[in-house]
Amino acid sequence: MHPSNTAEQHGPIAPAAPQTTPVAAGIEKMIVWVGSPASLALHTVAFLAAFALSLTRLVDWNLMLLVLTTVVSLEAIYLAIFIQFSVNRQAQSLKGVEEDVESIQVDVEELGEHVEGLKEDVEEIQEDVAEITEDTAEDSAEEIRKKKQSEMLENLTNDVKAMLAQLEALKTR
């Protein structure tokens, strides 16, 4: 289906280009990395190493728990910030999608109006075709009637000629 020449043309729907700063790009990379299997493996190894240092008595148990608790708390704070950052980005993205949906709805309404116009045009064409068919049928019936009259006139003419020929033959006798 091709676009109507009368329809207002809107450009292709493109996602809103996010405005990213180097810091935002770095946070995005950090968020992606934190959710990766490599991050899970690194955290697991770090926790195991902390407990191993304490079990081998290289580091005092209380000191290890203090440091580990502090690191985990800081990490939780940063993860909460990263989560909020992601939520804000998704909200911006949804606003762009919402605007696109509104634009599509306007386009659909315009197309509906064009379809209604085309429907009316088709109905008019069907009426014209019906009239032409009726006219053709009437013309065809008139032609058949004229043809029959022509044949009857020709038969009558032939009959008159035959009678004239018989009269001539009777006269000459």
Q: How would you classify residue 57: left for phi > 0, otherwise alpha for psi between -120 and 50, otherwise beta?
A: left
Q: What is the pTM of this model?
A: 0.47
Mean pLDDT calculated for residue range 49-69: 94
Contact 92, 16 (CB under 8 A): yes
Q: What is the mean pLDDT of the chain?
A: 83
18-27, 33-42, 62-71: which has the minimum mean pLDDT? 18-27
pLDDT in tens, 77-134: 998 998 898 898 888 888 888 888 888 998 899 988 888 888 988 888 888 888 888 8
Instruction: Measure the CA–CA gap between 70 and 64, rounded to whole angstroms.
Output: 10
Q: Map tokens 């065809």 to a residue.
A: 140
Which of 9-18, 52-61, 71-80 shows the lowest per-residue confidence on average (mean pLDDT)? 9-18
Least confident of 34-43, 64-73, 137-146: 137-146
Q: What is the pLDDT of residue 19?
A: 63
- The whole-number pLDDT of residue 52 equals 95
pLDDT at res. 51: 93
- The whole-angstrom separation of Cα 107 and Cα 9 is 9
Q: Which of 10, 8, 13, 9 is nearest to 97 (CA)?
A: 13
| Secondary structure (3-state) at 4 | coil
